[in-house]
Amino acid sequence: MSNRHFTDILKLMKQSRLFTKTLKEAPKDEISNNAKLLVRAGFVDKLAAGIYSFLPLGFLVLKKIENIIREEMKAIDGQEILMPALHPKENWARTGRWENFDALYKLEGKEDKEYALGATHEEIIVPLSKKFISSYKDLPLYLFQIQDKFRDELRAKSGLLRGREFIMKDLYSFHPDEKDLDDYYEKAKEAYFKIFERCGLGEKTYLTLATGGTFSKYSHEFQTASEAGEDIIYVCSECKLAINKEIKNKTPACPDCGGKDFREQKAIEVGNIFKLGTKYAEPFDLKYKDENGRENLVVMGCYGIGLGRVMGAIVEVCHDENGIIWPKQVTPFQTHLLALGQETEKEAESLYQKLTGDGIEVLYDDRDASPGEKFADADLIGIPTRLVVSEKALGKDSVEIKKRGEKEIQLIKLSDLKNLTDFISSPAKDSK
């Protein structure tokens, strides 16, 4: 598909030129597995609690997640925009959230002007859409962005799972009535399942009922089962629908199938979707004229996914004692090529050129380092297939090839490029 795009952006495919180095030990102040592994392997760097830089390897993963999300949002007719992160106080005062949004960062500019750093964007997108929505003919409308959000979180100890600054995809839908919202909401649900499936979290991610608002009984969270999760969900053993703690306290039976047998599970909230109704249309007086010329409030929905949190959740779910095991759709590179010893350099370089020429994304470990160091780093970084050019394998005109997370090593003839690229593109045996 568009794999080449990424390597074209980042020409740093030789590990000797990668500006990050792996760390032997995780920083002492990191508690969570995702932060420990991502920092050690050089994907991210912590500036302060809940604030991370994405380094070349981490940036590649982030862009792949972003692309998956973007494709699925466009597939449900989302139009991409980019709104500002700096919001005038008036917008937030209008909805009452200047006072009531607990985690809002507020700052003062010159001439006593006050601002918020965007924690969410209803306060911006509603007045924006009001400039263009006047008739039923302008509806429905679906707008999304992928952008930084800011929240003054008390707890920010879970690495990428809870950030004070974090990248989020937020989609907002605008409808003439609730029926239209309900139909689109189901489509958005399906799009979310596709996103988590494509990010390698499909098996472990549960649609979870959460409390709704004035306009609907429930909202929905997408919760990925993991011991690192800060949430507790209850998975129905009959139908696999999950409910969160609040719902569990209110209802003893599964609202979908009536089942009463639940499995308690820690989980990471990787996304949520919410029917807003007219909650934000009201304060901004967002209305449209229907076929009869009557004015009605626009009905809205909102749909969020935290990209860094998805990345953190993937690492929490996909790792072993040696490091990360990236699912193939979001791996920074498709294959990690290791040259062992200077004698192998020429063959390794030639293989590297052939594979990249064939559209395969290769991280080439051309460093002057010991085999042990290269193997350990390959396991830590977690690229799904590893190619080793060693003197022993070259003696058989072959390269050693292995999936991350599997023990079995195979030899493939260097001349058999097709077999090699097929192996690289095939999923690991245990991957779901």
Residue 233 vs 330, nearer CB to Zn ion: 233
152-171 per-residue burial string, b: 16 or more CB within 10 A, e: under 16: ebeebbbbbbbbbbbbbbbb
Residue 65 vs 254, nearer CB to Zn ion: 254
Residue 208 vs 224, nearer CB to Zn ion: 208
Q: At what angle do helices 178-198 and 56-75 cross, to 10 degrees?
A: 140
**Measured CA angle at 169 (ends 163, 173), to 5 deg:** 135
Residue 60 vs 235, nearer CB to Zn ion: 235
Q: Which region among 248-256, 340-348, 390-398, 405-413 touches Zn ion (by CB under 5 A)?
A: 248-256
Q: Does 238 sit near Zn ion (CB under 5 A)? A: yes
DSSP string, 262-306: EEEEEEEEEEEEEEEETTTHHHHT-EEE-TTS-EEEPEEEEEEEE
Q: Looking only at residues 259 through 288 of this chain, which bind Zn ion when binding is defined by CB under 5 A? A: 259
- One symbol per residue from 374 to 403: x for binding Zn ion (CB under 5 A), - otherwise; what is it? ------------------------------
Q: Which region among 81-89, 193-201, 233-241, 319-327 touches Zn ion (by CB under 5 A)?
A: 233-241
Write down the least CB distance from residue 254 to Zn ion, Å: 3
Q: How many CB atoms lie within 10 A of CB 80?
A: 13
Q: Coil, strand, or helix at residue 153?
A: coil
Q: Does 255 sit near Zn ion (CB under 5 A)? A: no
Write down the least CB distance from residue 244 to Zn ion, Å: 14
Q: Which residue of 31, 239, 253, 411 would you call a contact of Zn ion, by CB under 5 A?
A: 239
Residue 138 vs 256, nearer CB to Zn ion: 256
Q: Does 256 sit near Zn ion (CB under 5 A)? A: yes
Residue 256 vs 282, nearer CB to Zn ion: 256
CA distance 3 to 251: 47
Q: Which region among 230-238, 355-363, 365-373, 412-420 touches Zn ion (by CB under 5 A)?
A: 230-238
Write down the least CB distance from residue 411 to Zn ion, Å: 49
Amino acid 32 reads S
Give the CB-side neighbour count of residue 24, counting CA atoms within 13 A.
Answer: 2
Q: Does 207 sit near Zn ion (CB under 5 A)? A: no
Residue 260 vs 413, nearer CB to Zn ion: 260
| Residue 362: closest CA among 352, 348, 374 | 352
Q: Which region among 88-96, 111-119, 232-240, 324-332 touches Zn ion (by CB under 5 A)?
A: 232-240
Torsion of CA 214, 218, 224, 230, to 10 degrees: 50
Torsion of CA 422, 423, 429, 431, to 10 degrees: -70
Q: Which residue of 257, 295, 358, 371 would you call a contact of Zn ion, by CB under 5 A?
A: 257
Q: Which region among 29-37, 113-121, 250-258, 266-274 touches Zn ion (by CB under 5 A)?
A: 250-258
Residue 167 vs 267, nearer CB to Zn ion: 267
Write down the least CB distance from residue 259 to Zn ion, Å: 4
Q: How many CB atoms lie within 10 A of CB 186?
A: 10
Q: Does 235 sit near Zn ion (CB under 5 A)? A: no
Burial class, 345, CB count within 10 angstroms (exposed 0-12 / middle 13-18 / buried 19+): middle
Write down the least CB distance from residue 238 to Zn ion, Å: 4
Q: Are 295 and 288 in contact, with CB atoms under 8 Å apart?
A: yes
Q: Which residue of 188, 235, 236, 424 would you call a contact of Zn ion, by CB under 5 A?
A: 236
Residues in contact with Zn ion, total (CB under 5 A)? 8
Residue 103 vs 257, nearer CB to Zn ion: 257
CA distance 233 to 222: 10
- One symbol per residue from 334 to 373: x for binding Zn ion (CB under 5 A), - otherwise; what is it? ----------------------------------------
**Long-range contact pairs involving 397-400 (C-beta distance under 8 Å, separation at least 24):** 399/351
- One symbol per residue from 151 to 190: x for binding Zn ion (CB under 5 A), - otherwise; what is it? ----------------------------------------
Reading the block at residue 164, the tokens are: 């004070």
Q: How far is CA 184 from CA 5, 23, 90, 117, in A?
A: 31, 46, 31, 30
Residue 107 vs 253, nearer CB to Zn ion: 253
Q: Does 254 sit near Zn ion (CB under 5 A)? A: yes
Q: Which region among 9-17, 120-128, 251-259, 348-356 touches Zn ion (by CB under 5 A)?
A: 251-259
CA distance 12 to 362: 10
Residues in touch with Zn ion (CB under 5 A): 236, 238-239, 241, 254, 256-257, 259
